[in-house]
Each structure stands twice: as C-alpha cells, then as structure tokens.
Amino acid sequence: MAVFHTKDISGSSFLVTGGAGFIGSHIVEYLLSNGAGKVRVLDNLATGSVSNVNLFKPYHNYEFLEGDIRDANTCTAACDGIDYVTHQAALGSVPRSVKDPVTSNEVNVNGFVNMIAAAKDAGVKTFVYASSSSVYGDEPNLPKTEERTGNLLSPYAVTKKANELYAAVFAKLYGMNVAGLRYFNVFGPRQDPEGPYAAVIPLFVKGILNQTPVYINGDGEQTRDFTFVENAVQANIRAMLCDNEAAFGQVYNVAVGANFSVNFLYNAISDMLSINHAPTYREPRSGDIRDSLADISKAQHLLQYQPTQQFLDGLKLTVEYFMGNR
C-alpha cells in the first residue's frame, strides 16, 4: 500500500472503532505498518472478525478493546489518551436497516453520539467518521456533489445523515476538528462473503468460484462507483492528519469518480476467474438507488486525496485474494 502521510506519527495514538471490520482493519494495518505510536481498536465483534483482530497481535503498540459503542462508558474508556479517532463502527447494509431499523438507529446514531461526545471530552485532535453515499437518496443528478442531496430511501441512509448533522453541530458548538467520509461501494480483501447482508463483490466471487446461485437485483444495469479499500484508507489517513483548517466541519465523497454497471462487474469477475456461470436475475431491492457516481474534487482540493487504485486494478487484487483464501 502506498504511503499517504508525511507527518511523524510515532508519538501519536489512534483509535479505530470497528477496527475488526473490513475497512477498519485496513486502516489499522496502515497505521501499524507506518509506525504509529499506538493503535487501539474498539469493536464488539458483532460484524467484525476475530481473525482481523489476531492479524495485529504481533505489534507491541496495538491494543484491542472488546466493547460496544452503545455503552457511553466504553466509549469514554476507548478515547482515553487518544490523539486521533477514526469512527468506522456501524451496522452496515440497507436491507438490514429495512428489516430492523431500531437496531441500526441504536448503533449508528446513539453509538455515534456516544463516540463523538467521548472524543470531545477526551480532547482528541481530529475525529473522522464513516458516512455513506446512501445519503444522496433520490437526488437524480450525476455526478454526486456533497452539497446536493435528495430524499433518503432507507433507515440506514437516515442514520448516516444523522451522523453528518451531529458532526456539523459538534464542530461548530465545541470547535472540534471533524471530517465525514461518504463511502461509495468500498470493496477489497477481507470483505466478508458470508451472511445475509454480505456485499456484492465477495458474494459474486464466492458464487462464481463455487458454482452456486448468484443473484443480481433488478436488470443489473444499475451503476456504482466501486471503490477499492486502499482509497478509503487514504481518505481516513489524510483527514485525520490534515493541517488545513478549512478541511474540517466538512463531508467528502470517497470514491474513484467512475461508475460501472453490476452486469459489467459480474462479467469482469467471471473473466478474471475464467469461469462461465450465469447469474439469476430477481426483483429490485427496496431502498436501493439506481445510479451512483461521485464528484471527488472536494476531497482532492481540501484533503489532497487522489485514488491510487482504479476499479479493475482493485478488483483483480480482490479476486486474487479470495482465490488464495478458498
């Protein structure tokens, strides 16, 4: 992975909530590999993986705290002695939130407020958090620009928009350095292919490899700005270590700035695996947006964010990872 910072972080302490999860574990890996003074992970392992926790045990500067962000005391303990927080802990998945909006709200909204309040009280330097492209809702214009959103289409989208609203208030009211990252369909190694809410790329790879049914919702012509996880890591690192005061109190699209259809994705994976396995089409999924494409100029300008991995390059690395871990 490329290096995305120039600042000496050997004397700095970092908290990664959700660090046993997919994106969080990649942020942890970057920080530990690049000499961070201390990296603490807070995760309740509800959707995170023990195998991700164990990856980092050899590092003397790594701490794992098993706990739930819905508990305010846990959040306070996690922020003790911390300089920078990147808040990745959440219950992901639009369908999960449609089925159980209450739990999504408890984790993603109540848990978020617990975390940002604990970070404020601990006097952390910067608080970065994961938002989502789902906040664009039914806004029809492409590409998506941060200032223009539509009607929200799922409880999950509501929770992420609530995060942004709380963050803006904490930034203004308490003078906190806060930055939100609207992820666009992040994918990569260690993304879980199991369970009812697994993401599309690991599901496709697993199904094609095993010759089991693979489902495409709708006609497959819906488009997404698929974003390799290294790009999401870069955005987090640049936002946490940013010295540009104008960059705080903002939300940023984290993507590549190119979109591809689900059908194109499926065929690309099939080609990389050299397996011809037809998908099964079914009804469109409720709460889903039709097309997604990000304008990343704001992040480029204020955070110096620049994607290092394009879609097909990242997809190749991801497919190779899953083939090696069969």
Q: List active site positions.
A: 156
How many Cα atoms occupy the beta-carbon half-sphere of 120 within 13 Å? Answer: 18
Compute the chain's Rg from CA coordinates: 19
- Residue pair 66/17 in contact by the 8 Å Cβ criterion: no
In the chain, at which residue ranges do the beta strands (DSSP E only) sit? 13-17, 38-43, 62-66, 84-87, 126-132, 178-183, 186-187, 215-217, 223-224, 227-228, 250-254, 260-261, 280-282
DSSP 229-248: HHHHHHHHHHHHT---GGGT
- Residue pair 305/299 in contact by the 8 Å Cβ criterion: yes
Contacts of 61 (CB under 8 A, 6+ apart): 32, 36, 37, 38, 39
DSSP 263-275: HHHHHHHHHHHT-
Distance CA 84, CA 87 (A): 10
Distance CA 42, CA 64 (A): 6
Indicate the SS3 state at residue 46. Answer: coil
Residue 41 tokens, joined: 């992970």
What are the φ and ψ backbone dihedral angles of 313, each rounded to 5 degrees?
Answer: -65, -45
Please report, for residues 21, 46, 243, 303, the alpha-carbon distance to residue 298 in angstroms, rounded to integers and kept in the order given: 27, 34, 16, 8
